Amino acid sequence: MNEQALARPDLPQVVASAPWIRRVPLRSPTLPPATHTNAYVLGESELLVVDPGSPWPDAQALLWDSLHALRAQGHTLRAVLLTHHHYDHVSGAAELARALGVPLWAHPDTQRRLSNQPELTIGERVRDGDLLPFGPRGLRVLHTPGHAPGHVCLVDEAGGGLIAGDMVASQGTIIVSPQDEGDMALYLSSLRLLLARGPQRVWPAHGIAVEEGDKLLLRYLQHRLLREEKVVRALQTGASTLTALLPLAYDDTPAALYPLARESLLAHLLALVTTDRVETSSNETDPEPTYRLR
């Protein structure tokens, strides 16, 4: 049986071809059906921890056990990196960094979003194109905004794959929420950027590693584009508010999920406004903004 068949979302994962990439799933306050957020321990002699996102001591202990074992083998932890600011990615970071005496790293836009949380002080800012010295050939930072303004992915230059954060998931889905500075137009651009890199293994924040990661990225892009066209068709009926458009554009979605679907719908509408396919207006007498095709 191959490595992929043996992998489980709730169990640690390492692949033989890239042993410097270690996935450590931590039970976290994330959206179902996912129940865990993956922390990653990256590197050979020197280590980088990515997204220790559980606030719960029993879950944090699993990561601590992994780090203690690696330190006993002579490895040194250098920093903790956050792919973005969401709670299920950062909630264990401050405690881990403080206990180990290492800095927190993040993109400047993530630093801005965390500026009201003094315990999450960012010690070093990472930017698009930076090469971080972990693994045989380093980790290349890619700024991939959309899900969050400061979202970054890490490309293992030795060919181990892409640490994808919340760009895609192999368990559950990805929400783009305008209320939390999510931007669907930027998210679609970031998906295209990653797809242009060609076939690669994808290590998501939720779920197991995906060997044919380009196919996963393409499915996400195609799904979003199909949903965008459903939104356009809903607008063609004359419906113009979120309330009226929701059951038309999300007629395949259970009503119980409508609160999340409403956020996604708004994200698609704002993306269509950005690309000049839709115009929006509001006034004091309208309970909701209206949207119309141009």
* Domain extent listing, the chain: 3-211, 226-293
The DSSP string of 134-184 is -SSS-EEEEE--SSSTT-EEEEETTTTEEEEETS--SSS-----GGGT--H
Superfamily of domain 3-211: Ribonuclease Z/Hydroxyacylglutathione hydrolase-like (3.60.15.10)
pLDDT tens, the chain, 294 aa long: 466 667 899 999 999 999 999 999 999 999 989 999 999 999 999 999 999 999 999 999 999 999 999 999 999 999 999 999 999 999 999 999 999 999 999 999 999 999 999 999 999 999 999 999 999 999 999 999 999 999 999 999 999 999 999 999 998 889 999 999 999 999 999 999 999 999 999 999 999 999 999 999 999 999 999 999 999 999 999 999 999 999 999 999 999 999 999 999 999 999 999 999 999 998 767 778 999 999
The label of the residue with tokens 């137009």 reads 185
pTM metric for this prediction: 0.95
What would be the CATH architecture of the domain defined by 226-293?
Answer: Orthogonal Bundle (1.10)
Nearest-angstrom CA–CA distance, 203 and 287: 43
Q: What are phi and psi of 77, to 5 degrees?
A: -85, 130
